[in-house]
Amino acid sequence: MVHHFLNFQWLHDSSPEDVAIWQKYYGLKDKGFASFLGIFGLRTYDGKDKEAFVILGEEVKKRGW
């Protein structure tokens, strides 16, 4: 029997305040990398669906999950 497991870390992108905290904590100077840290969510920080979130919903529905 095969068991599949899906995990995602963040539903929403991180807030600018959280990114600023990480910048300070890790001593990040590169603003491009810092902004990259804020975009790991399946939805934007202000709640808009990203394409990955929409596709995830479609695939979940197809599988009856």
pLDDT, one tens digit per residue, over 8-50 is 888 999 999 999 999 999 998 898 988 898 999 999 999 999 9
- Is residue 11 a contact partner of residue 41, using CB atoms and an 8 Å limit? yes
**Of 59 and 3, more confident:** 59
Q: How far is C-alpha 26 from the chain's CA centre? A: 20
pLDDT value for 14: 95
| Residue partners of 35: CB distance under 8 A and separation at least 6 | 19
Cα(49)–Cα(34) distance, rounded to whole angstroms? 22
pLDDT value for 58: 97
pLDDT value for 40: 92
* Three-state DSSP class for residue 64: coil
Cα(24)–Cα(56) distance, rounded to whole angstroms? 33
